[in-house]
Amino acid sequence: MLDLRPVGYVIGLLVAALGLTMLAPLVSDLTTGNGHWPVFLEAATVTTLFGALTALACRNGVTEGLTIRQTFLLTSLVWIVLPVFGAVPFMLGATNLGFTDAFFESMSGLTTTGATVIGGLEALPEGLKLWRGILQWLGGIGIVVVAMVFLPELRVGGMQIFRSEAFDTMGKILPRATEISSRISVIYVALTLSCAVAYAGTGMNSFDAMVHAMTTVSTGGMANFDASFGAFGAGAHYVAVVFMILAALPFVRYVQLIGGHASPLLLDRQVRGFFVTIAIIVLTLSLFLADTVHGFTEVAFRESLFNVVSIMTGTGYSSADYMLWGPFAVTIFFFVGLIGGCAGSTACSIKIFRYQLLFASIRTQIKRIHSPHGVFTPRYDGRTVSDDILNSVMAFFVAFIVSLGLVTVALGLTGLDFITSVSGAVAALGNIGPGLGPEIGPAGNFNGLNDTAKWILSFAMFVGRLEVLSVMTILTWHFWRA
């Protein structure tokens, strides 16, 4: 029998903590005097009470550690239960959303997807803007911890390639989860504050600077304006580019950097691949934009840089409606979303290291094909890659592409057109945010979709955030039988 109490205990504590964080928007609404604060008092009370009672009820079942199955349930249930409570302020508050919309917005926030069903963001009370930022910020730190602590242990999607590395880096004396989480949290907070200060330096008011810093370092992408970063100038764009990139690099490298070791960051194959890919795509698109829209100006370069970095890191801000840049740009933005950032960051989607491993494997295959009797082994970062890891990465890639197909078909079945369906599936599974086309593209939002489509997309965000295979594992009969 699977003992659910240890899982319930941790989730209860996390829900209670989420309830307490609702005091921040409460304070914010009190400060600005907009009279919206009772919403957060109510939501905080309900959430904290529910969380505390659950934790209390499960307390007698708490053990030293968690089994693998309990860990799986925990990492998955967290991303279902927290969005339910995160949705409460959207239902009670000025947005007055139904449960479908509120859950979508909350799931989109916590999974750092950033797709929104709310139009007219400018009119939101400060508390709700802040709440969206907080959801994304918590989701961002949550996923870094999950990606660095749990997924490598669970051997999901090839993440085990980073297992020994994280071990070596962190030392083996302190319990890993606590040690890693606390070090990473310090870095995360430092990044957020630096980002906020930098935004304020470009002339953003302090409230916007703080909220956008939270949605930048989490690569979340929710903005306080319908025009996203179109509401800001060049300075804010460049600051955003720097911090979106910082948020998409492997956080373990910052731990090493603080320990005085810069070379792991500078020599990291993921990092190099990430920068080379960005450089090539930005250059191509800049030339294209210079040729067709903006001429050879700083604007052509900046618009290209900002939006490519935003989509590739899975942030999802936009500084312009790139649907108007013509079919080539649209095609580029579709595929950039399938690349993603580095593992062990807040970024999402398929991720650079998986492509590198898959390409290494293809190179090995090609060598085997024309020298059938030779022995070739794919290498990554100087080490040979085991078939176990390759199979795991491959399973992830295929599961991702097939999920993409299924989500697209399901969305099509609800009546969405092809480009909305397929780009919506990428945007949700890759936790990016905006899709393509007039409806869910950079100039639109997800409000007009039917309820079924919103539930499908909420599920896709959940699946994408847990690296697809975790969810598949839980959905097997085998998992529940044992």
Which one of K ion, a second copy, none interacts with residue 155, CB within 5 to 8 A by kind?
Answer: a second copy
If one counts every other C-beta atom within 10 angstroms of the C-beta of residue 98, the result is 14
DSSP letter string, 396-456: HHHHHHHHHHHHHHHHHHTT--HHHHHHHHHHHHTT----SHHHHSTT--STTS-HHHHHH
Task: Point out which span in 221-229, 289-297, 318-326, 403-411 binds K ion (CB under 5 A).
Answer: 221-229
The reply to whether 315 sits near a second copy by the rule CB under 8 A is no
Considering the rule CB under 8 A, would residue 380 count as an interface residue with a second copy? no
* Nearer Cβ to a second copy (3/226): 3
The yes or no reply on residue 293 touching a second copy (CB under 8 A) is no
Q: Which does 433 bind (CB under 5 to 8 A by kind): a second copy, K ion, none?
A: K ion
Distance CA 108, CA 197 (A): 26
- Give the one residue of 32, 290, 330, 447 binding a second copy; rule: CB under 8 A: 330
Q: How far is CA 286 from CA 169, 202, 291, 443, in A?
A: 39, 24, 8, 21
CA dist., res. 380 & res. 61, Å (int): 43
Please tell me whether residue 167 binds a second copy under the rule CB under 8 A.
no
Spatial distance between the Cα atoms of 213 and 440, rounded to a whole number of angstroms: 24
Q: Which stretch binds a second copy (CB under 8 A): 176-184, 219-227, 302-310, 473-481?
A: 473-481
In angstroms, the CA 86 to CA 107 distance is: 8
Instruction: Check the CA dihedral 226-231-234-235 and report its sign.
Output: negative
Residue from 409, 438, 448, 451 touching a second copy (CB under 8 A): that is 409
- For a second copy (CB under 8 A), the number of binding residues is 62
Is residue 279 close enough to count as binding a second copy by CB under 8 A? no
**379 pairs with which residues across the strands?**
384
Torsions phi, psi for 384 (to 5 deg):
-75, 145
Q: Where are the alpha helices (DSSP H) in 59-95?
A: 68-86, 88-92
| Binding partner of 368, given a second copy, K ion, none, CB within 5-8 angstroms per partner class | a second copy
Question: Which of 395, 447, 455, 459 is in the footprint of a second copy by CB under 8 A?
Answer: 395
Residue 93 in tokens? 């508050």
Interaction of residue 221 with K ion, rule CB under 5 A: yes
Nearer to a second copy, 272 or 363 (CB): 363
Q: Tell the smallest beta-carbon distance from residue 319 to K ion (Å).
A: 15
Gap between the Cα atoms of 134 and 85, Å rounded? 13
Instruction: Please check whether residue 237 is in contact with residue 302, taking contact to mean a CB–CB distance below 8 angstroms.
Output: yes
Task: Give the shortest CB-237-to-a second copy separation in angstroms.
Answer: 25
Please tell me whether 112 is known to bind a ligand. yes
* Binding site per annotation, positions for K(+): 112-113, 220, 315, 431
What residue ranges bind a second copy (CB under 8 A)?
68-69, 72, 154-156, 288, 326-328, 330-332, 334-335, 338, 358-359, 361-362, 364-372, 387-388, 390-392, 394-395, 397-399, 401, 405, 408-409, 411-413, 415-419, 421-422, 436, 469-470, 472-473, 476, 478-479, 482
Q: Which residues are annotated as a binding site?
A: 112-113, 220, 315, 431
